[in-house]
Amino acid sequence: MATSIELSALAVGASAVVRDFPKTGAAFLRLREMGLLPGTRVTLVRTAPLGDPLEIKIRGYNLTLRKSEAAHVLVEPAP
């Protein structure tokens, strides 16, 4: 099993599968409700011109989140 990294550390264009996620906090509950769950495949589409926030693609649509939140989401890089 490959090692998990933070979602914010993913390279632009790379895909990964979500492995772990904080249990509490409004931001993380909302991210789950938006479909970012353990097991979900996520692609880092790009970062904003100033480096933050990030744009990711999940379940066929694009979502932004700040690096501060993405740093708490652990993902396992996947081809």
In angstroms, rounded to a whole number, what is the distance separating the alpha carbons of residues 38 and 66?
19
Annotate 3-35 with DSSP letters as a single string: PPEEGGGSPTT-EEEEEE--SS-HHHHHHHHTT
The answer to the question of residue 46 lying near other proteins (CB under 8 A) is: yes
Q: Which is nearer to other proteins, 9 or 32 (CB)?
A: 32
Q: Which is nearer to other proteins, 57 or 76 (CB)?
A: 57
The answer to the question of residue 14 lying near other proteins (CB under 8 A) is: no
**Which stretches of the chain bind other proteins, using CB under 8 A?**
21, 23-27, 29-35, 37-38, 45-46, 48-53, 55, 59-66, 68-69
